[in-house]
Amino acid sequence: MMKTTLKNSAILLLLTFVLPLFSFAQVLKPVKWTFSSKQISASEVQLIFSASIDRTWHLYSQDVPPPPDGPVATSFFFEKSTDFKTIGKVKEPKAIEEYDNQFQAVLKYFADKAVFTQNIRVLSAKDFKITGYLEFMCCDDKQCLAPETVDFEFNIKGNPDAGKTEVPDNSQIINPETIKADTVKPVADTLVSKDTTSKSEVRAVDAGGLDKNSSLWTLFIFSFLAGLAAILTPCVFPMIPMTVTFFLKEKDKVKAKAQALFYGISIIFIYTVIGTVVAVTLGANFANFLSTHWLPNVLFFLIFLFFAASFLGMFEITLPSWMINKSDAQADRGGIVGSFFMAFTLVLVSFSCTGPIVGAILVASAGGEVLEPIIGMLGFSLAFALPFTLFAFFPRWLNNMPKSGGWLNSVKVVLGFIELALGLKFLSIADQTYHWGILDREIYLAFWIIIFTLMGLYLLGKLKFAHDSEVKYISVPRLGLAIATFTFVIYMIPGMFGAPLQALSGYLPPQATHDFDLNKIVRDNIQVYGTSSGTGTEHGGSTLCDKPKHGDILHLPHGLEGYFDYEQALACAQKQQKPVFIDFTGHGCVNCREMEARVWSDPRVLKKLREDFILVALYVDDKTELPESEWITSTYDGKVKKTIGKKYADYQISKYNINAQPYYVLLDAKGELLVSPKAYDLDVDNFIEFLDSGLAEFKKRK
């Protein structure tokens, strides 16, 4: 049975340690500073500030419009001292003056390198130091980084003939203690004044950012590990037996191995070449289409039903007759076409689960980058193809196991039951995103309970199919699998009455779709009778400012109250003077459900979310069409977004440069970023620390 404790531990281990490595990039440092001085005379010294700028990046001039109309200008601040005075202002080289797409204005900037100089008059006879800091901002053609400060220090030789009466010119010499109060707010304003600024800060330190300066080998290794982790996702794991079944039919060993090798190469080819082409031509939202649109998900559901029926003995999987006839005419080509077909089917079906991982690579390539996504997709697909190729290359490994009549057919039947159960996940995604209401949580659970009960009876020999041999006795491994199956069935039964079933949170429809939920009934009684002490919602009083838009079709877990429209949530936050908690989520997001079940369910987290924040869940895959007045034209791809999902998927990409969920963002009442956003992390203490740091920053700003 697939959902064993060992497999759960493996999944948790990989998701905890492998995916974070893939998701979190290094901090970008495209501008590096060096400092030196030049002795012009005994009384005059030139301070030299040299900036080395990475390719494709540019550093802004001192002469640019201030935020929010422009970037933070390069500025120099010196600690107050009577040992010297500045001669004029800091000089800069001739700047490039062009239209800047980030700020939509003509701005001055520098590329490759820039050398700034400041002449000073030495007023001290003794040697001394000049200290201070500079502030700057840099961008490339797609993103801007948050403003950064760099400390500097110069050792200056004293002037023996220095006058005793000169007074330093303090036009540019200020005390750092007085600087901070004046400069913090403009910097904070810049983080949110332009979408590109805040998204670039997140890109540099959080999930989804592909650091252009990081080693391609590092990117390849992280992608390879993510590919291995993707094997254990619910969309991918069931495809392995399909591979074994397909290649078992080839009698010629040499031909079978050639087909298996081509099968693996086909997987790598499809992900690396076609995936990159799709990203460049269609953009990152195409991954969202495959994982959320009803058409591919219903198609995946039917494919799983098709294979399940075959495994259960209804028919044998064969290629279409026209393909077989063509194979007879061109024998070698027939096997290759079949192998490619299997590889293409694998890529399509698995994309619903691998999309969030691959999505980070697709975001980079959608902006025109080619090398990085190719390296990333190559590493991912190589790891992803490896186990499938091994199974395909050695399909008769199964024959080396003990044979007892129809043992191999029994394995296929068990896998058929698993295929049938997991195929419901795709239909469930379409059902949730389009609000069909045909596969709510209890209906889904009822299907699973029946399917796995029948599987348990089959393992005990109480249920037989056409191609099964008679079971004279039950082997110990088969009995153990039957016990595990029935244990799993009993575990699911309380879920019919509202039990959270945390171990299955990523596979089941959300709790909000459950019609008969005893937990909800208890909560409603508490609200009516006020039998529990705590927050306003427990006493029947809502913490919301007004009725949430789309609240009739969208829900938050664990009885939490919140919004599903960003503007509405921000307005309420301003009214109540609370920070905003943005949950970028999706109906088909497996990791979102796991976070809600394993992290949000913690009483400490629930208390903070309920009492300290205005919650807003932004569904990036919901297909509900918005009124025409709420349509937006994307600044990312220039297309009109007409549905809830497309609107907020575009908002996440354009604002934070990431399209993976879950993704959590904390904002103050003005919509400004409080702390770096957080992605998937099952460590409750880390999540509480994230919330606490946001609250602390919010109180500091107040």
DSSP string, 179-233: HHHHHHHHHHHHHHHSHHHHHHHHHHHSBT---TTS-HHHHHHHHHHHHHHHTTS
Is the pLDDT at 404 greater than 50? The verdict is no
Rounded-to-integer distance, Cα 343 and Cα 346, Å: 5
Q: Is the domain 544-701 a CATH 3.40.30.10 member? A: yes
The residue ranking higher by pLDDT, 242 or 593, is 593
DSSP string, 556-593: -GGG---BS-HHHHHHHHHHHT--EEEEEE-TT-HHHH
Q: What SS3 state is found at 98?
A: strand
The residue ranking higher by pLDDT, 661 or 528, is 661
Distances (CA, A) of 673 to 197, 306, 566, 634: 11, 48, 14, 21
Highest mean pLDDT among 15-24, 142-151, 219-228, 583-592: 583-592
Is the pLDDT at 34 greater than 60? The verdict is yes
Q: What is the pLDDT averaged over residues 570-575?
A: 93
Is the pLDDT at 236 greater than 80? The verdict is no
Is the pLDDT at 542 greater than 70? The verdict is no
Rounded-to-integer distance, Cα 243 and Cα 395, Å: 8
Rounded-to-integer distance, Cα 574 and Cα 483, Å: 56
Is the pLDDT at 270 greater than 70? The verdict is yes
Residue 212, pLDDT score: 42
Length reported for the chain: 702
Rounded-to-integer distance, Cα 514 and Cα 386, Å: 40
Nearest to 425 by CA among 231, 623, 292: 292
Nearest to 391 by CA among 261, 272, 265, 304: 261
Is the pLDDT at 424 greater than 60? The verdict is yes
Residue 182, pLDDT score: 37
Residue 361, pLDDT score: 53
Residue 162, pLDDT score: 73
Residue 90, pLDDT score: 93
Rounded-to-integer distance, Cα 529 and Cα 524, Å: 9
The residue ranking higher by pLDDT, 88 or 68, is 88
Q: What SS3 state is found at 2?
A: coil
Residue 687, pLDDT score: 94
Residue 198, pLDDT score: 35
The residue ranking higher by pLDDT, 32 or 106, is 32
| Out of 64-68, 165-169, 264-268, least confident range | 165-169
Residue located via tokens 């252009």: 212
DSSP string, 360-377: HHHHHHHTT--HHHHHHH
Distances (CA, A) of 110 to 26, 27, 89, 139, 387: 24, 21, 18, 11, 49
| Out of 249-253, 259-263, 657-661, least confident range | 249-253
Question: What share of the chain has pLDDT > 90, as a percent?
Answer: 24
Highest mean pLDDT among 415-419, 458-462, 464-468: 458-462
Residue 180, pLDDT score: 36
Q: What is the pLDDT averaged over residues 645-651?
A: 89
Rounded-to-integer distance, Cα 325 and Cα 310, Å: 22
The residue ranking higher by pLDDT, 335 or 363, is 335
Residue 609, pLDDT score: 94
- What's the pLDDT tens digit per position in 295-354? 877 887 887 788 788 778 786 655 445 544 543 443 344 466 767 777 777 776 665 456
Is the pLDDT at 193 greater than 70? The verdict is no
- What's the pLDDT tens digit per position in 474-520? 889 899 999 999 999 999 999 898 887 877 766 788 777 777 766 66
Q: What is the pLDDT averaged over residues 153-160?
A: 90
AA letter at 76:
F
AA letter at 243:
T
Residue 104, pLDDT score: 66
Every domain of the chain and the residues it spans? 5-21+211-504, 31-201, 544-701
What are the backbone angles phi and psi of residue 325, rounded to the nearest 5°?
A: -60, -40
Class for the domain spanning 31-201: mainly beta
Residue 412, pLDDT score: 74
Rounded-to-integer distance, Cα 626 and Cα 478, Å: 53
What is the Cα 599 distance to its own chain's centre?
17
Q: To 5 degrees, how large is the angle CA 197–CA 200–CA 204?
A: 145
Sign of CA dihedral 494, 499, 503, 508: positive
Kind of pairing, strands 614-619 and 580-585?
A: parallel
The residue ranking higher by pLDDT, 206 or 649, is 649
What are the backbone angles phi and psi of residue 256, rounded to the nearest 5°?
A: -65, -40
- What's the pLDDT tens digit per position in 274-300? 666 755 665 555 555 666 677 877 887
Nearest to 118 by CA among 85, 95, 96: 85
Question: What share of the chain has pLDDT > 70, as a percent?
Answer: 66
Residue 196, pLDDT score: 34
Rounded-to-integer distance, Cα 533 and Cα 353, Å: 41
- pLDDT confidence bin for 370, thresholds 50/70/90: low
Tokens matching residue 205: 């330190």
Is the pLDDT at 192 greater than 50? The verdict is no
Distances (CA, A) of 42 to 31, 165, 582: 33, 17, 60
Mean residue pLDDT across the chain? 74
pTM of the model: 0.45
Rounded-to-integer distance, Cα 577 and Cα 668, Å: 8
